[in-house]
Amino acid sequence: DGGITQSPKYLFRKEGQNVTLSCEQNLNHDAMYWYRQDPGQGLRLIYYSQIVNDFQKGDIAEGYSVSREKKESFPLTVTSAQKNPTAFYLCASSIVGNYGYTFGSGTRLTVV
């Protein structure tokens, strides 16, 4: 079945460490997105990519980095520069020019 796989489901990180969240899709979607969700809040866009080897900053990109070397993969690195990284991270994909937004099941990151 087609879908989006995020891993790991739970992640613990020590302060000062970088950590990479995985997002893989087999839907053949062109666009991929990373969102951050804090308790009681909506989703906020971190980065998005419409095609391979290209990506744009969203509303809250500071302290994060991404790459898009393959159409299927869009990993997110939470760097030590991100001051408040504890959150729920959601990856999504869509057909550019269409509406087929599909979300992964999320990664819950906790800084300890």
Partner 1 sequence: GIQVEQSPPDLILQEGANSTLRCNFSDSVNNLQWFHQNPWGQLINLFYIPSGTKQNGRLSATTVATERYSLLYISSSQTTDSGVYFCAVDFNSGGSNYKLTFGKGTLLTVNP
Output the CA–CA distances (angstroms, integers) from residue 41 to 45, 54, 64, in the order listed. 12, 28, 19
- Of 52, 35, 48, nearest in space to 87 by CA: 35
What is the smallest separation between the CB atom of 109 and partner 1, expressed in angstroms?
13
* CB of 69 closer than 8 Å to CB of 23: no
Asked if 55 interacts with partner 1 (CB under 8 A), we say: no
Figure out which of the listed residues 50, 65, 77, 86 binds partner 1, where binding follows CB under 8 A: 50
* CB of 43 closer than 8 Å to CB of 35: yes
What is the smallest separation between the CB atom of 1 and partner 1, expressed in angstroms?
15
What is the smallest separation between the CB atom of 21 and partner 1, expressed in angstroms?
14
Figure out which of the listed residues 52, 71, 88, 111 binds partner 1, where binding follows CB under 8 A: 88
